Amino acid sequence: MNITFIGAGNVAWHLAQALDSAGHTVQQVYSRRLQSAVQLADQLYNAEPTQSLDFSRSKANVFFIAVPDQAIASLVTRLQLPVHAILVHTSGTLPIELLSAFENTGVFYPLQTFSKAKALQMQQVPFCIEASNPETEEVLVSLAQDISRTVYLVSSAERKVLHVAAVFACNFTNHLLSIAYQITLQENLEFSLLEPLIRETINKALAGENPASVQTGPAVRNDTSTMQSHLDYLSRSPAEKEIYQLISQNIQKVSREL
Amino acid sequence: MNITFIGAGNVAWHLAQALDSAGHTVQQVYSRRLQSAVQLADQLYNAEPTQSLDFSRSKANVFFIAVPDQAIASLVTRLQLPVHAILVHTSGTLPIELLSAFENTGVFYPLQTFSKAKALQMQQVPFCIEASNPETEEVLVSLAQDISRTVYLVSSAERKVLHVAAVFACNFTNHLLSIAYQITLQENLEFSLLEPLIRETINKALAGENPASVQTGPAVRNDTSTMQSHLDYLSRSPAEKEIYQLISQNIQKVSREL
């Protein structure tokens, strides 16, 4: 396929290169900042950087929008595409309907976190695909399967649910790790001491059962004296103390229901 | 060294076998339930199961208490040891002073989560050692180094802080994963879809910087419309909604301070 990327951030960076390497041709890379478009185009076999959203004469037949969520709606109103082109966005949150001014649309959502500076195995990334019609779906699934082993058809409603789950499992988990980091730092302890325990916790939680069935710690064993001693320690950090209380309560609630 | 284990649960299970394999001799395994003591003793070269806490004639010179935290204090009052024996507990929470009825005491705390059913590489487990005197410290550090590459001297106060940090980083993280599991289950989505994203999140968080510096998600980018849509979705689960709000607020607070 001939492909155009609209956006040159972290997602475009990895996706454009993966598709290019899989034998497709990225024709153009658009960015508001020419320098970003040039930087990504330089990584591709035959791509031109551009600052124009008029693609009416483009040779591309699939257009990937990979810009921040809040920028998509206004960008779409300024976009000009060749007739019958497929337009997809790569957002985990936004519905396919956002693109409904066009005929053949879809969502091409990689369920992974990307940084330009960090290589990753695209084959391991689950892709969530949605399309406005069966012909488009076929094209998008085939493109996704060219770069990944795990491709799923996921509706906009399901994708939203996955995103909520990912916020808990990833964004919030990262925040808990940052609290742990802060606590060890304050006492001149090495955060890396916790690394084996963190990795083992994740391994157990991902072993296939409900993670609630392998819950450990003072809350689930109703060890109130340890919890009280932890809350006393946290009294100088009210926000962390509140998180400690709320999650401990919920662990106990879930464990009673299990 | 000649060693006795008091307790035959998950920690004793792994620690006794690791010490035995490293060339020490576990002489006795105590458990309230004889069957548990027999089960562990069967895994060891030359250990006897026992239900008696009178070890005054034991050949062992190091006694490991590996029972639930809340059982230690009362157990210690019933314990009889040979003169000059070393007595340690393996708790992440309790102070060394709990053992002060004895002369040579210590803490031998493996910073890891153990299950009998799951093998693990003891060499990778960080051990936190504390002792009531330099001679005892030397013995305990040497024992720990026989089974692990990472041995630290950690005071009772530092160990408590590490434990608070571990509750956030591990127990609470597991709970967030159980919430994500529940959300995907309710919508007939596979939880395993999130696995690559979860693992990459952990890899980034453990890469050495403050995890707050790699925070992603709607809260840190102040994407209020996504957050509102998630909160609407969570309105039927008030506890999860409250956790969502509280952690999102704290992510924003930390990001402003960073």
Locate B78 and state its tokens. 């019933």
Q: Is the pLDDT of residue B126 over 90?
A: yes
Distance CA A188, CA A208 (A): 36
* Chain A interface mutation, best of B158, B171, B241, highest count of A Cβ atoms under 10 Å: B171
Residues making up chain B, counted from first to last: 258
Q: SS3 sequence, A135-177?
A: HHHHHHHHHHHHHCCCEEECCHHHHHHHHHHHHHHHHHHHHHH
A101: how many CB neighbours lie within 10 A of its CB? 12
pLDDT of residue B70: 87
Give pLDDT tens digits for B77-105.
999 999 999 999 999 889 999 999 999 99
**Where do the structural domains in chain A lie, given as residue ranges?**
2-154, 159-257
pLDDT of residue B102: 97
Residues 6+ apart with CB under 8 A from B220: A171, B251, B252, B255
Distance CA A100, CA A87 (A): 10
Secondary structure class of B151 (helix, strand, coil) = strand
CA distance A49 to chain B (A): 27
Among the listed ranges A26-40, A57-71, A219-233, B112-126, which one has the minimum average pLDDT value?
B112-126
Q: Which of residues 187-246 of B touch A (CB under 8 A)?
A: 187, 189, 191-202, 204-206, 210-212, 214-221, 223, 225-226, 229-230, 233-234, 239-240, 242-244, 246
pLDDT of residue B155: 94
B159-257 has CATH 2.60.40.10 classification? no
Give pLDDT tens digits for A17-68.
999 999 999 999 999 999 999 999 999 999 999 999 999 999 999 999 999 9
Q: For residue B204, which phi and psi values (nearest 5 degrees)? A: -65, -40
Strands A104-110 and B86-89 turn out to be unpaired
Secondary structure class of B80 (helix, strand, coil) = strand
pLDDT of residue B209: 87
Residue of A nearest to B247 (CA): A172
pLDDT of residue B120: 86
Secondary structure class of B64 (helix, strand, coil) = strand
Distance from chain centroid for Cα A151: 15
Note the CATH number of domain A2-154. 3.40.50.720
Q: Is the pLDDT of residue B118 over 90?
A: no
Give pLDDT tens digits for A67-105.
998 899 999 999 999 999 999 999 988 999 999 999 999
How many residue contacts between A and B have a Cβ separation below 8 Å?
A: 310
Q: Which helix (H) or strand (E) holds B14?
A: helix B10-21
Q: For residue B85, which phi and psi values (nearest 5 degrees)? A: -65, 155
Asked if A211 lies within 8 A of B181 by C-beta distance, the reply is yes
Locate A96 and state its tokens. 């396919």
Q: For residue B45, which phi and psi values (nearest 5 degrees)? A: -65, -45
Give the long-range contacts of residues A39-43, CB within 8 A, separation 24 or more: A39/A8, A40/A5, A40/A8, A40/A12, A40/A13, A40/A16, A43/A13, A43/A16, A43/A17
Q: Is the pLDDT of residue B27 over 90?
A: yes
Q: Which residue in B36, B32, B79, B43 sits closest to B60, CA to CA? A: B79
CA atoms within 13 A on the CB side of A145: 8
Q: Is the pLDDT of residue A196 over 90?
A: yes
Asked if B226 lies within 8 A of A93 by C-beta distance, the reply is yes
Q: Is the pLDDT of residue B145 over 90?
A: yes
Residue of B nearest to A183 (CA): B165
Give pLDDT tens digits for A117-166.
888 899 999 999 999 999 999 999 999 999 999 999 999 999 999 999 99
Strands A48-50 and A86-89 turn out to be unpaired
Mean pLDDT (chain B) is 95
Q: Is the pLDDT of residue B119 over 90?
A: no
Q: Which of residues 9-68 of B touch A (CB under 8 A)?
A: 68
Secondary structure class of B104 (helix, strand, coil) = strand
